[in-house]
Amino acid sequence: MKRLAIILSVFLLSHVVAKGQYTDHRDHRLDSLESVVVPWTAERIARASYEEKDMLSDAYHDLMWGYSQINPSRSLYFARKAFDLCLREQWLNQAFQAARMIGQHHWAAGQMDSAKTAFATALSIADKMALKEPLPGKPDGYKDATIDDAYSSLYGALGNMYASMDSIPQAMEYYHKAGELFKKNGWLESCSVLYHNMGDTWLDAGDLKEAEVCYDEALKYGQEAEDSLQIAEAKAGLGALYLEQGKTRKALKYLREADRYFSANEDQEYRNRIYTLDLTGKVYDAQRRMLFWMVAGGILLIILLLGLLLVLLRARRLRKQKEGADVVISEVLSTRPQEQKTERSAPELTEREAEILPLLADGLSSKVIADRLCLTEQTIKWYRMRLLEKFNAPNTAGVISKAKELGLL
């Protein structure tokens, strides 16, 4: 038996204690510890001393916690072993932890009825602990901190279960119950974990405002506790939130900060690192899509502006053509028979005719003159005809010759 005590003392893991603390069991030598406890049959346990049963209970709990993330079926097996032993010995706190772990495994497997039964068993044990009656190894009963730890951890587990069932009001009811006990006892790490779970719940429910409040609280408590893991997880949560809000730069900032911790502890936090890297990839994809649409939008805007410019130029040209046509119409309407002027008298020219005459003298065609004055070619031809009539000339050359004689050019 002494040999067993020595072996167990080497492989025992730190037990989850009161004050809301937690212990990471994943890096311990679970296979070796399991080989030690397997030979303990029910008959052998019945003959064992109090101290041996106590050490065996610790071993069951360490295996239960150690396998919880890497081999759920083994964890559940040792949780049941621990529950049977501890309940039989009236070690209520240890029995409570085992019952809660059994409930968590059933919940994770989607066996909600079994999970509720196990959690109800855990709650009844916590109620017995709260009576503070004398028990084996606890003549004065359990301390308030231990009782609060039991209730708060169970409330947190129930909150997680109802959150996974999309029963958000029930989940928040249990989360808040747990939070009251955490704050009462100053368990900062547990507050950080709790608010992170609440943030995840609100994020999944689509309430981004509540999620941001909870993640900020998780980060605050993690920083107050100087807990690097909880700080990193809170920042990863904020990264997921800001990605959902489309704030990719803020999301990338928090995800990079979280990944610095996860990458430095990748042997233990590989799942968290995979999660943050996946989110980071989604941020980059979102940024690429935003860049594509910004470029496409910019190109479309340039095309629209060019189209608008062409329309404005065309409208300006049409307006000038209309003004020229209005002048022609006005001149036609105002034309009245006048006395025949002598060949040597200078005809009266309109402003437009006086503008066109020197261009004709320069030898410009009607089309060129029309483009220069923003008029139609037909309008220029009409002015040519008017000038032929006014100068009584047979052609444009005659008009130019007479205009020079009269000093108009």
Q: Please state which of the ranges 39-48, 244-253, 316-325, 386-395 shows the lowest mean pLDDT.
A: 316-325
Please indicate whether residue 65 or residue 338 has the higher confidence score (pLDDT). 65
Res 322: pLDDT = 72
Res 69: pLDDT = 85
Average pLDDT in the chain: 86
DSSP H helices, 20-167, are 30-37, 42-47, 50-66, 72-89, 92-108, 112-130, 144-164
Nearest-5° Cα angle at 102, 98 to 105 = 135
Nearest-5° Cα angle at 252, 246 to 253 = 120
| % of the chain at pLDDT higher than 90 | 58
117-154 pLDDT, tens per residue? 999 999 999 999 999 888 877 788 899 999 999 999 99
Please indicate whether residue 33 or residue 343 has the higher confidence score (pLDDT). 33
Res 317: pLDDT = 81
pLDDT (mean) for 269-298: 90
Res 324: pLDDT = 66
pLDDT (mean) for 329-350: 61
164-210 pLDDT, tens per residue? 999 999 999 999 999 999 999 999 999 999 999 999 999 999 999 99
Res 161: pLDDT = 93
- Cα dihedral 129/132/133/139 (nearest 10): 110
Tally Cβ neighbours within 10 Å of residue 140: 9
pLDDT (mean) for 276-280: 92
Q: Record the tokens describing residue 283, joined without a space.
A: 């941020």
Domain ranges for the chain: 2-291, 349-405
Residue 339's SS3 state is coil
Nearest-5° Cα angle at 174, 92 to 80 = 35
CATH number of 2-291: 3.30.70.600, 1.10.10.410, 1.25.40.10, 3.40.50.10540? Answer: 1.25.40.10
Res 22: pLDDT = 36
CA distances from 55 to 1, 22, 58, 97, 111 (A): 11, 20, 5, 16, 31
Res 196: pLDDT = 94
Q: Provide the whole-model pTM.
A: 0.62
Please indicate whether residue 25 or residue 353 has the higher confidence score (pLDDT). 353
**For residue 24, what pLDDT band results from cuts at 50, 70 and 90?**
very low
- 278 phi and psi angles, rounded to 5 deg: -65, -45
HSE-CB for 11 with a 13 A CA cutoff? 23
Res 133: pLDDT = 86
Residue 138's SS3 state is strand
Res 347: pLDDT = 85
The answer to whether residue 51 scores a pLDDT higher than 60 is yes
CATH number of 349-405: 3.30.420.10, 1.20.1370.20, 3.20.20.70, 1.10.10.10? Answer: 1.10.10.10
**For residue 231, what pLDDT band results from cuts at 50, 70 and 90?**
very high
For the chain, the distance separating the N- and C-terminal CA atoms, rounded to the nearest angstrom, is: 133
Nearest-5° Cα angle at 327, 324 to 328 = 90
Own/partner long-range contacts of 70-78 (Cβ < 8 Å, ≥24 apart): 70/26, 72/105, 72/108, 72/109, 74/34, 75/101, 75/105, 76/101, 76/102, 76/105
Tally Cβ neighbours within 10 Å of residue 93: 23
Quote the crossing angle between the two packed helices 50-66 and 30-37, to the nearest 10°: 140
Res 221: pLDDT = 96
257-276 pLDDT, tens per residue? 999 999 999 888 888 899 99
Q: How far apart are CA 207 and CA 264, in angstroms?
A: 32
Q: How far apart are CA 304 and CA 298, in angstroms?
A: 10
pLDDT (mean) for 49-65: 93
